[in-house]
Structures are given as structure tokens and as C-alpha cells.
């Protein structure tokens, strides 16, 4: 922590002896001890955004020694794409002292001395003295957490794929039965009109299977490198209902759709699909094969709203706070991972949206997902990227959560 | 090839009730069985199947010789439907034709008295062999009764 501005002595230790000065020194020593022994990197910066304090954990995390970073701009710790926006945020903070990110926790990427990037969680603070405004950043490496999250998401996706595959068997094997049957009949058939009729059936059902496989491939495609596109939420919601309808547990559920034309949302399609497939699956499972599934979209004052309602068992009041928690499930052991709604919550948050729940026990449940129509990836005025990168630290969630 | 109304068609081999919600499946099975000399009665769900059986029960003798039924259909639990067939019409052999290759389910249904469990897509020869066996079994049952 050699870059601390008020340290006395060459080794950074306080050498004062008496009275108020002694008390101040003791306080400073305590502070130093806490900072130096912290597991998280703690970085302090002046109002210009230059490093003035750097603890051991910061050294371990970024690879720079305190001497190497002292007085250097914070931008050396971030990938180039963040730098301009960061600088604008620092200047804005200096000009009017306002910032939306102070006091919040953000997920960003850091840049090590060896130029490698890593995901980090940053808690920002600020304080003022007669010398100006100073910043504190507590930084945690979340590489492992992100990797674990990715693995769990992949596992959940595979689990939901398993359910869909079972449903696909019905959708594919039935037309194949027709195709095979018709083809075998044609072999011995001599009437040209009948041959033509069966051939047309074969063509029609082959096309039907091709469409199914295409839809399925779209869902199953790895999302790792998919770019954001303008997503039609009505289309994706209808597609999700179609996907889940193929699952064995869909049964005799009645589907009611109320789609209003709404602006497209900029997002990765597979993630929007995952939100809707998970919510629709959840609704259908709550009804145990019988009931009414209502899916609706609407747009008002720049807010895109998607509602998914069921007439199932509902969610008891005492469980409503937990339903978005990872691994929380009310299903029998082995029947559910407890990640479905957690992933929904995570993706909705990623796009700056909110998700709410209204439910009465025994009277079904309604999940309401809302996004801002203009969610395009933009840098905020605080020098950090917008909701595309940053988790909403306030965990905003409407309804009873 | 002419597909007559199977209820009125005079099949030599016997009469089979085909229960499946997918029209193309019913169409191909009907044509296959009709070509082989069977009458085919179609039902697109369990409710229709039960109504057909109840109506035909009034005839003497019961004209349905075998039931070929899907398991997963809208508005019906196919397993319960099959159990109903076995309970109400124990003399009529039931063959399940399903899109799901589920061994546990197959075993469970066979224990309930289902004669065979076919997984779609099934070849014409295999289908005809099983239906023939079912109709013959019903005939033997009647002779013994």
C-alpha cells in the first residue's frame, strides 16, 4: 500500500508518538492493516483518476506492484473499450460531483499487467477532503464464479434440451410413420392418382420435419458467439410456446395469446428464448397437463411487457422470495435443477429488465417481464458500460420479490 | 387403391380400431391395413374411441377384433385409456403404437395386458404381423369362450 498519500516513514509505517497525532497514527495503522490483509483488491484514486493506494491483493490480482502503479491512471487496469467512457465519467464527477455508480456493485472486466482480461466485481466509493474528491474501489476476481455460472447454465440448457428432445420424438416420429407407411404403400401401388397423393403426403411431411429440425437446431445452437440482433418478442414467445407444446407434460393445456405489436428488443435471441421457454415450461408444469396458459405482450411508454400466466397451483407466499434463487426447487429430487427461474432472472437483469410475480396459492401465477424498448448497449454517463455489461446491483425486481 | 369407409367396408381379415391424433398416421395405417384385407375404424382421441366401442358393443358379436392405440394424445392420458380398454373390453387385444421408445412404460403396459408395444416408425410388415397376431388371439379367445 505504498502509494498511500499520508504515510510517514520510508516503510509506510507510522512513527508518530503522542496525543491526537498518535491517535491518528493508530487509526491509520489499523486501516492499513485491514487493507493490506484484505482478500479483495483495494485501490484508491485521486480526482484525476490516478492511483494513490494499492494493496497486496491488487498486486496479486493485476500483477503490478504498488510502485509500478503509483500515480498511474486507472485506465491501465481496464480494457481499451472502457477507457474513454471511464474518462468521461471521471470528468463529469469532477464537474458536478454526481454519479450513478458510486455505492453500487458492478460486473466489469479488468486488464492485468500481462494484458489478459478477467471478469471482476467492483464496488465503488468516494470521499471528499479539502484536496478534492477521492475514489475507492474494492475489486474481486469473479473468474471462477463466472466459469461455474456458465457451466451451470449449460447444464440447465442441456436438461431443458432433454425435455424438448422427448417432446420432439412425438413431433418427428409421427410424420415419419406417415412417410414410411406411404412409401411402403407406393412400392406396390399401381394407381397413378394414389401414388401422386401419397407422394405429396411424403413431401409435405418431410418439409414439416425439416422445419421442426431447423427450429430445434436454432434452440440448441451454442449461444457462446451469437451476436445481438433485433429480437421480435412476440415471435420468440410464440416459438417458446410451440417448443414447450412438444413436451410430454404439456398435456391438454389451453393456450391463449394476446400479442400486441411491440418494438423489437436488442438481445441475443437464444437468451430471450431461454427466458420464455423456462417461464412457459414452469407455467405448464404448474398446471400438470390441465389448465389455461395465457401469454401476452404489450408496449407502453417505452416499456415492453411480456406476461405469462397459468391457472396452476400458484406459489405460496413464503416461497415467493426464493423462487429466483439458484437451486431452489419445489420439485421432487432429481426432477428439477432449481436453476430455470434463476437463469431467467439473470438474463432479464442482463438486459436491464425486471421480472415480477403475482400469485395466489391455488389460483395460478403470473410472471411479468419488462424491458426498456431502447436497451441498446451504451456507455452510461458514469464511465462504465450500461446494463449490457453491468448487473443491476439493486437487483430490481417488481412484485413481491 | 380405394379407401372405402372402413366401418362399412367388408374386410376379410377382421376389424381394427386405430386411435391416433395424427391424421397422417391414421391415413397410412388405414391404407396399409385395408390393403391387407382389414376393416379400419378410426378415432382421433380416446373419447371418440370409447364412443365407437360403446356403439359397436351393441352389435352382436362385438365387431372390433383389435385396438391399435397411440399413447399421447390431446385431452387424453393414453395410459389410462389403454387401462380402460383392458378393463372394459378384455376380449379385445390392444397394441400400443407410440412415438416414445420408453422401455419402462412398455413393460408396465404389457403387465396390464397390452399385447404388444410398437414404436413409430414401424415397418409395414411388422405392423401387419402384430395386427394379424392380435386378431388371431381375439379369435382364439372367442372360440375358447
Domains located in chain A, CATH noted:
19-141 (3.30.450.20), 143-220 (1.10.287.130), 227-401 (3.30.565.10)
Interface test with chain A among B1, B45, B73, B74, by most A beta carbons within 10 Å: B1
Distances (CA, A) of A147 to A119, A204, A281, A376, B142: 10, 45, 26, 26, 67
State mean pLDDT over A313-320: 81
Contact B32/A185, CB-based, under 8 Å?
A: yes
Residues of A in contact with B31 (CB under 8 A): 181-182, 185, 198
- Indicate the range of A217-221, A317-321, A385-389 predicted with least confidence: A385-389
Q: What confidence tens digit (pLDDT) does each residue in A189-229 have?
A: 999 999 999 998 898 888 878 877 776 665 555 454 467 88
In this complex, which of A170, A179, A182 lies closest to B72 when CB atoms are compared?
A: A170
Check residue A375 and give its pLDDT.
Answer: 65
Contact B95/B116 with Cβ under 8 angstroms? yes
Instruction: List the 51-80 stretch of B: residues with Cβ below 8 A of A.
Output: 72, 74-77
Interface test with chain B among A170, A194, A291, by most B beta carbons within 10 Å: A170
Contact A174/B75, CB-based, under 8 Å?
A: no
State mean pLDDT over A225-251: 81
Q: What confidence tens digit (pLDDT) does each residue in A136-153 have?
A: 999 999 998 888 877 776
Contact B31/A174, CB-based, under 8 Å?
A: no
Q: Is the pLDDT of residue A334 over 80?
A: no
Check residue A131 and give its pLDDT.
Answer: 81
Q: What confidence tens digit (pLDDT) does each residue in A78-109 have?
A: 999 888 888 888 888 777 766 667 777 888 99
Residues of B in contact with A175 (CB under 8 A): 22, 24
Contact B27/A178, CB-based, under 8 Å?
A: yes
Q: A167 falls in which pLDDT band (50, 70, 90)?
A: low
Contact B25/A174, CB-based, under 8 Å?
A: yes
Check residue A65 and give its pLDDT.
Answer: 94
Check residue A282 and give its pLDDT.
Answer: 87
State mean pLDDT over A36-47: 90
Q: A132 falls in which pLDDT band (50, 70, 90)?
A: confident
Q: What is the mean pLDDT of chain A?
A: 79
Q: Is the pLDDT of residue A7 over 60?
A: no
Closest CA of chain B from A368, distance in Å: 28
Rg (C-alpha) for chain A, rounded Å, is: 28
Instruction: Give me the DSSP letters along A15-55.
Output: ---SHHHHHHHHHHHHHHHHHHH-SSEEEEE-TTSBEEEE-
Check residue A393 and give its pLDDT.
Answer: 27
Check residue A257 and give its pLDDT.
Answer: 93
Check residue B144 and give its pLDDT.
Answer: 59
Q: Compute the Cα dihedral for A154, A157, A162, A168 and give only its sign.
A: negative
Contact A180/B121, CB-based, under 8 Å?
A: yes
Kindly list the averaged pLDDT for each block of 10 residues, start to end, along chain B of length 145: 40 89 91 94 91 80 85 74 91 91 83 92 94 88 60
Q: What percent of chain A is predicted at pLDDT more than 90?
A: 33
In this complex, which of B1, B72, B77 lies closest to A194 when CB atoms are compared?
A: B1
Rg (C-alpha) for chain B, rounded Å, is: 14
Task: Locate the domains of chain B by residue range.
Answer: 14-139
Q: Is the pLDDT of residue A2 over 50?
A: no
Q: A120 falls in which pLDDT band (50, 70, 90)?
A: very high
- Establish, for the pair of chains A and B, how many residue pairs have beta carbons separated by less than 8 Å: 81
Task: Please tell me the distance from the alpha carbon of residue A396 to that of residue A164, in angstroms, as a whole number.
Answer: 31
Check residue B142 and give its pLDDT.
Answer: 62
DSSP label of A132:
E
Q: What percent of chain A is predicted at pLDDT more than 70?
A: 76
Most confident of A14-18, A175-179, A284-288, A366-370: A366-370
State mean pLDDT over A254-273: 89
Contact B121/A194, CB-based, under 8 Å?
A: no
Residue of A nearest to B20 (CA): A174
CATH architecture of B14-139: 3-Layer(aba) Sandwich (3.40)
Phi and psi at A300, nearest 5°, equal -150, 130
Any chain A CB within 8 A of the CB of B120? Answer: yes
Any chain A CB within 8 A of the CB of B112? Answer: no
State mean pLDDT over A304-315: 93
Please state, as a whole number, how many other Cβ atoms lie within 10 Å of the Cβ of residue B62.
Answer: 16
Contact A201/B27, CB-based, under 8 Å?
A: yes
Closest CA of chain B from A64, distance in Å: 60
Q: Is the pLDDT of residue A399 over 50?
A: no
Check residue B1 and give its pLDDT.
Answer: 38
Rounded (10°) angle between helices B124-144 and A143-188: 70
Q: Is the pLDDT of residue A112 over 90?
A: yes
| Element holding B142 (H helix, E strand) | helix B124-144
Amino acid at each position: 500500500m505504498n502509494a498511500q498519500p499520508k504515510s510517514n516513514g520510508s516503510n509506510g509505517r507510522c512513527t508518530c508518538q503522542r496525543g491526537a497525532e498518535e491517535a491518528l497514527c493508530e487509526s491509520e495503522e489499523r486501516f492499513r492493516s485491514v487493507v493490506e490483509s484484505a482478500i479483495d483488491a483495494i485501490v484508491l484514486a485521486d480526482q484525476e483518476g490516478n492511483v494513490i493506494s494499492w494493496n497486496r491483493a491488487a498486486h496479486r490480482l493485476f500483477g503490478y506492484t504498488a510502485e509500478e502503479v503509483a500515480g498511474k491512471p486507472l485506465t491501465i487496469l481496464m480494457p481499451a473499450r472502457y477507457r474513454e467512457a471511464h474518462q468521461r465519467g471521471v470528468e463529469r464527477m469532477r464537474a458536478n460531483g454526481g454519479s450513478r455508480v458510486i455505492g453500487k456493485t458492478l460486473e466489469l472486466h479488468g486488464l492485468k499487467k500481462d494484458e489478459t482480461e478477467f471478469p471482476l466485481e467492483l464496488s465503488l466509493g468516494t470521499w471528499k477532503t479539502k484536496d478534492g474528491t477521492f475514489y475507492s474501489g474494492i475489486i474481486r476476481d469473479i473468474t471462477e464464479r463466472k466459469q461455474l455460472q456458465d457451466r451451470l447454465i449449460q447444464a440447465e440448457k442441456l436438461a431443458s434440451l432433454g425435455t424438448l428432445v422427448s417432446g420432439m420424438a412425438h413431433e418427428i416420429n409421427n410424420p415419419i410413420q406417415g412417410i414410411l407407411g406411404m412409401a411402403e404403400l407406393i412400392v406396390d401401388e399401381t394407381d397413378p392418382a394414389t401414388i401422386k397423393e401419397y407422394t405429396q403426403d411424403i413431401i409435405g411431411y418431410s418439409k414439416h420435419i425439416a422445419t421442426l429440425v431447423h427450429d430445434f437446431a436454432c434452440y440448441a445452437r451454442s449461444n457462446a458467439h451469437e451476436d445481438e440482433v433485433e429480437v421480435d418478442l412476440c415471435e420468440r414467445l410464440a416459438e417458446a410456446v410451440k417448443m414447450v407444446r412438444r413436451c410430454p407434460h404439456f398435456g391438454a393445456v389451453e393456450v391463449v395469446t394476446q400479442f400486441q405489436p411491440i418494438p423489437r428488443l436488442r438481445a441475443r435471441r437464444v437468451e430471450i428464448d431461454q427466458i420464455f421457454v423456462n417461464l412457459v415450461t414452469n407455467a405448464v408444469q404448474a398446471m400438470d397437463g390441465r389448465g389455461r396458459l395465457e401469454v401476452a405482450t404489450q408496449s407502453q411508454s417505452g416499456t415492453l411487457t411480456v406476461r405469462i400466466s397459468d391457472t396452476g397451483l400458484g406459489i405460496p407466499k413464503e416461497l415467493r422470495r426464493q423462487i429466483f434463487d439458484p437451486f431452489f426447487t419445489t420439485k421432487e429430487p432429481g426432477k428439477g435443477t432449481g436453476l430455470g427461474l434463476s437463469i431467467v432472472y439473470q438474463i432479464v437483469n442482463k438486459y436491464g429488465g425486471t421480472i415480477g410475480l403475482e400469485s395466489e396459492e391455488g389460483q395460478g401465477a403470473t410472471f411479468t417481464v419488462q424491458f426498456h424498448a431502447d436497451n441498446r448497449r451504451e456507455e452510461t454517463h458514469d464511465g462504465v458500460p450500461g446494463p449490457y455489461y453491468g448487473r443491476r446491483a439493486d437487483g430490481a425486481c417488481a412484485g413481491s420479490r | 387403391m380405394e379407401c372405402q369407409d372402413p366401418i362399412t367396408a367388408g374386410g376379410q381379415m377382421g376389424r381394427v380400431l386405430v386411435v391416433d391424433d395424427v391424421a397422417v398416421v391414421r391415413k397410412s395405417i388405414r391404407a396399409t391395413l385395408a390393403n391387407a384385407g382389414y376393416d379400419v375404424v378410426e378415432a382421433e382421441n380416446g373419447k371418440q374411441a370409447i364412443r365407437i366401442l360403446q356403439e359397436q358393443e351393441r352389435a352382436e358379436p362385438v365387431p372390433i377384433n383389435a385396438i391399435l392405440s397411440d399413447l399421447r394424445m390431446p385431452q387424453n392420458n393414453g395410459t389410462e385409456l389403454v387401462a380402460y380398454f383392458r378393463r372394459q373390453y378384455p376380449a379385445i387385444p390392444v397394441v400400443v403404437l407410440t412415438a416414445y421408445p420408453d422401455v419402462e412404460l412398455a413393460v408396465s403396459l404389457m403387465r396390464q395386458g397390452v399385447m404388444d408395444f410398437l414404436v413409430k416408425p414401424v415397418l409395414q410388415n411388422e405392423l401387419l404381423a402384430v395386427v394379424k397376431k392380435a386378431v388371431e388371439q381375439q379369435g382364439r379367445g372367442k372360440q375358447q369362450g
